[in-house]
Structure 1
Amino acid sequence: MAGALPDGDPVPLDGSLPHAAAAAAGRNGFAVYVHVPFCASRCGYCDFNTYTASELGGGASRDEYADTVLRELRLAQNTINPEKVDTVFIGGGTPTLLGADDLGRILEGIDKTWGLAADAEITTEANPESVTPEYLRTLHRHGFTRISLGMQSASPTVLRILDRKHTAGRAPEAAREAREAGFEHVNLDLIYGTPGETADDFAASLQTVIEAGADHVSAYALIVEDGTRMAVRMRRGELPYPSDDVAADRYLAAEAALTAAGFDWYEVSNWAKGADARCRHNLLYWTGADWWGLGPGAHSHVGGVRWWNVKHPTAYAKRLADGHSPGHAREILTDDDRRVEDIMLRVRLRDGIPLAGLDAAGAKQALADGLLEPAAYAEGQLALTLRGRLLADAVIRDVV
């Protein structure tokens, strides 16, 4: 499970925001994130705020969870009034452990509260083994337009090391079922650099993704977080630690295979088949929009105020049952905080960020090191080369 939440300023019991922040809600776009904290089992690498049935005991109920989220939504309605909701993303955990009709009720509640845009993007995450064709059809009837499936790998060996429960063939099968159910967009998630993964394993994973008909791929290097079962195994010497060189090789392999198959990168770890297949929800995060995070441990940002909910589902439900905000703490970002965060996120995008306001010496050095596109630089824009994408964090440090 994730570590302790950060401290911050107290959140008012009614969840109210400073007037200027509330008035600005949705000015640059507005998204809703819904966190579903339930999992059937815990993957060895996972440190998300999620809970299996044995970890929760009798403290929280899946059956009542949608109603609890709707209580937070009613409180949110009294706090801000954005013009519309551009995107909704339900993540976890495994959202599809809830009934499809429960996810539909949450979506309906969001629509009744703030109003969904006519072209709103509606996404849910899912584990491949947690959905069926009928479940997917029901989700689509409720208005879901996009699904993100946690494939991670096509190798049975790698899936076993990651403690994933689905078979190697289930993820592409689920992707095809989602297409048949009417989903406009299907994403498959990959993790690369797992101990024991070979270059051939990853090549097979990429080929599986391409053949599955997904129009979006997210690929992330394995990060081993303290407190996870995988970290314990590595400290014991049961598994080797991930290699940065191997991760770089895997990334280059992903870029080559996906580009050849008609995908284009638009963020360092994300590829899409055409601009309309890009994840609009994540783009709102990356370009400074506002969002409300519903659920235990969920983070929100509105008008320069960021807050985060209490972590445990039982504490979250109790706060709302008492008529109080589930907010644990918040912070009001300074102009400099927002500038730095904007740079950190936008540098990773294909479109990059204007050079104005960046550290000129750092940008010039990054250009000399082959990390920036010369043509974009000449036009006053910072955009990463392929090598720059491999060293994006270093570029960010140089230009902030």
Structure 2
Amino acid sequence: MPSALPDGEPMPEDGALPASALDGAASRPLGFYLHVPYCATRCGYCDFNTYTATELRGSGGVLASRDNYADTLVDEVRLARKVLGDDPRPVRTVFVGGGTPTLLAARDLVQMLAAVRDEFGLADDAEITTEANPESVDEAYLSELREGGFNRVSFGMQSAKQHVLKVLDRTHTPGRPEACVAEARAAGFEHVNLDLIYGTPGETDDDWRATLDAAIGAGPDHVSAYALIVEEGTQLARRIRRGEVPMTDDDVHADRYLIADEVLGGAGFEWYEVSNWATSESGRCLHNELYWRGADWWGAGPGAHSHVGGVRWWNVKHPGAYAGALAGGGSPGAGREVLAAEDRRVERILLELRLREGCPLSLLREAGLAASVRARDEGLLEAGPYGEGRAVLTLRGRLLADAVVRDLVD
């Protein structure tokens, strides 16, 4: 959950949405994102809306405490029920993210999930995920989550190499994420993801291959691999500016991506989104697919973003301000925007092009269609039957996805 909030129009005090937001809702899946903003320590590369105990001390009092956070978030789930009225859709996905959700007691995460179930109902095949830091869980904790309804867990592994973890300010020890996968399997989790980061200063190709081999050997059915982005205002950005560590390199990122696709593909993982690989269709992250396909989701928690029927809004950032708004009976929303048809068209191209299935050529205008022909000729988009009627990235196209998108949205 990024720390910066966009500009927008004021959010109504009661959180009410335009009547148009639920037009055609029955044809769109509904998901919930539940944001837990707490971390034991701050990773040097992270600019998410998260807070350590030291950062919260004296800046929100009891309202900002993680001890009663689950109760506060449940209040927003109940608000969502009021705002969405008689919307009959059961929830298709729930994703608990952060921060470090597993700093809360397992019963708190189960309580938050139960509120979604009680207010909206869950689809029979609902995907229920939580993120977890490897050092914050054990098999007993994971078993409690599984018994409480969670069926997918995502561990932040990042790297198998200690010197890389040190640059990232990650506190877990090498080998612990792999052990977590085994503990999750023992607890009954069918779907397990490992998050990886490549391109950290000081990482070598051999380090990255060792990380991929360790991740694959652990036995997850999903791997996410992201290039390290140095965000302004982070500790890592300050270290680079002082010359303590080198700046990241785009060419290195490209090489590491190719290594990831080769190694993961050879181990039976298939890419289905530029940064995500799964061993089967059932192993895909359905919640993220809601985002990429422009479906509806309610984001609960400080700084969380939501989208329903072309209306996008975001909550106040600070946990104390968030809890205070809900305690006063109002919405914690800080602002919103109603997307125009052109905005939604452009967003569909931006997001769907990243998927294995690509985006329909029918979304493109004349200049975009001409650009798609050039991109096919340059080997950036698939030619032949698979690319018929759709813009589908090739492997080379994935490396240059941002540039391809810029041409297609014209």
User: Is 1:381 aligned to residue 385 of structure 2?
Assistant: no
Q: Contact 1:28 / 1:290 at 8 angstroms: preserved in 2?
A: yes
Deviation at residue 22 of structure 1 after TM alignment: 3.5
8 Å CA contact 2:33–2:298 kept in 1: the answer is: yes
1:369 maps onto 2:373 in alignment: no
Shift of residue 260 of structure 1?
Answer: 0.6
Structure 2: gaps spanning 5 or more residues: none
1:153/1:205 contact within 8 Å kept: yes
Looking at structure 2, the residues matched to 3 and 102 of structure 1 have their Cα atoms a distance apart, in angstroms, of: 24
Amino acid at match of 2:52: T
Matched, 1:63 2:72: no
Equivalent position to 2:321, from 301, 315, 320:
315
- Superposition map of 1:163-312 within 5 A: 163-312=169-318
Counterpart CA distance in 2 for 1:190 and 1:293 is 24
1:345 and 2:337 correspond: no
Q: Matched residue of 1:78: which SS?
A: helix
Post-superposition shift, 1:223? 0.1
Q: SS where residue 240 of structure 2 aligns?
A: helix
Partner of 2:78: 74
**Residue in 2 that maps onto 1:161:** 167
Q: Residue by residue, what CA displacement relative to the aligned partner does 1:289-313 show, whole Å, maximum 9, x if unpaired? A: 1000000000000011000000000
Cα deviation digits, residues 210-257 of structure 1 (max 9, x gap): 110100000000000000000001111111110111111100110011
Q: Distance in 2 between matches of 1:161 and 1:44?
A: 8
> What TM-score comes out, normalization by structure 1 length?
0.98
CA separation in 1, counterparts of 2:163 and 2:173?
10
Contact map agreement 1:133 1:177 (CA 8 A) in 2: yes
Q: 2:325 & 2:347 partners in 1: Cα distance?
A: 31
Q: Distance in 2 between matches of 1:389 and 1:155?
A: 27
1:2 positional shift = 5.3
Cα offset for 1:354? 1.6
Distance 2:33 2:90 in 1: 14
Instruction: Show CA shifts across 1:340-388 (max 9, x none).
Output: 0010000000001121231111111111111011114762221111000
- The letter of the residue matching 2:74 is L
For 2:94, which of 71, 78, 88 is the aligned residue?
88
- AA aligned to 1:241 is M
Does structure 1 conserve the Cα–Cα contact (< 8 Å) formed by 2:40 and 2:53? yes
Whole-angstrom CA distance in 2 between matches of 1:19 and 1:108: 28
Which among 101, 107, 121 is matched to residue 101 of structure 1?
107
CA contact (8 A) 1:376 1:382 kept: no
1:53 & 1:115 partners in 2: Cα distance? Answer: 34
- The whole-number CA distance in structure 1 between the counterparts of 2:237 and 2:320 is 28
Structure 1 pair 34–3 and aligned structure 2 pair: CA distance change class (3 A): closer
Aligned pair partner of 2:330 in 324, 330, 334: 324
Q: Cα distance, 1:24 vs. partner?
A: 4.2
1:17-36 equivalences in 2 (<5 Å) = 17-25=17-25, 27-36=27-36
TM-score normalised per structure 2:
0.96
Give the 3-state SS of the residue equivalent to 1:374 in structure 2.
coil
- When the two chains are superposed, the root-mean-square deviation of aligned CA atoms in Å is 1.2
Q: Matches of 2:401 and 2:66 in 1, distance apart?
A: 40
Q: Which segment is superposed worse, 194-203 or 52-61?
A: 52-61
Give the fraction of aligned pairs with identical amino acids, expressed as a percent. 63
Question: How far apart, in 1, do the equivalents of 2:25 and 2:126 lie?
Answer: 17
- AA paired with 2:68? E
Cα-to-partner distance string for 1:87-140 (whole Å, 9 max, x where unaligned)? 000000000000000100000000011110111000000000010110000000
Alignment size in residue pairs: 400
Distance 1:36 1:28 in 2: 26
Q: Match for 2:369 among 346, 350, 360? A: 360
Q: Which amino acid aligns with 1:370?
A: G
Gaps of 5+ in 1: none
Amino acid at match of 1:386: L
2:46 aligned with 1:37, yes or no? no
SS of corresponding position for 1:50: coil
**Alignment deviations for residues 35-77 of structure 1 (CA, whole Å, 9 cap, x no partner):** 0000000000000000000001142111100000011111111
Distance 1:26 1:227 in 2: 42
1:175-234 CA-to-partner distances (Å, cap 9, x unmatched) read: 110011000100000000000001111000000011101000000000000000000011
Secondary structure at the counterpart of residue 79 of structure 1? helix
The residue identity in structure 1 corresponding to 2:102 is T
